[in-house]
Every structure is written in structure tokens, then in C-alpha cells.
Amino acid sequence: METSHDSTVRLTEANFDSLSKSERPMFVDFWAVWCGPCRVMDPVVEKLAARYSGKMLFGKVNVDEEMNISSRYQVFSIPTFMVFKNGQPMDAVIGAVGEASLERLVKGAIER
């Protein structure tokens, strides 16, 4: 499985649906190379991915390369962070937010 960083999976049209339907909830970071706020959030996402690696899958969707995925879930602003469970989006946070906000998103999905 191709990873974009140490603990996040690079999500593409080829693997998105199967991974989002897995037993574990999936945290998705919608981002782009040119997006400054996305780069600012990257270490926060990596930290959470390391902390919750056994409980949740963490993945990244490059919106420039995977336009069909981002349009399917109506991602118009980046960064957007979305949590999926059983293939369905459960919750989302848009923008460069603090670690606590993202951690609430993660914990909420794990505890459901």
C-alpha cells in the first residue's frame, strides 16, 4: 500500500471505496501541494495518525489529482478533514484548525 508519509495512506480512486468501507473508521485529509494551510496542518495530521494508528485509518486525497473523490464529497475548500465509517462520511472540519478540534473529530468517530 502506497503511503504519502509515515502513517498516512495515499488515497486514490482505485483504493478509496474499499478502504473507506473497512471495519475501522477512516480519517481523510483533502489537500493540495500549493495549499499553505494544508502544509501547516500536515504535522498535526501525522501526530494524530501516529497516536491513533491502531484505531483509525488515516489517508490523504490530493484534490488536484483525485478530483472525482473531492467532487463526490463536495469538498470546495481545503484543507478539509472528513471521517468515514462503513463507507459513509460522518463528520467534517474545514480549514486550518487546532489539534484539539481534529482530535475531537477522531475520538468522535472511534467512540461511535
The residues annotated as belonging to the active site are 35, 38
User: What 3-state DSSP class applies to 38?
Assistant: helix
Which amino acid does the sequence have at 107? K
Which residues make Cβ contacts (< 8 Å) with residue 108, sequence separation at least 6? 83, 90, 91
Q: Whole-angstrom Cα distance, residue 25 to residue 57?
A: 6
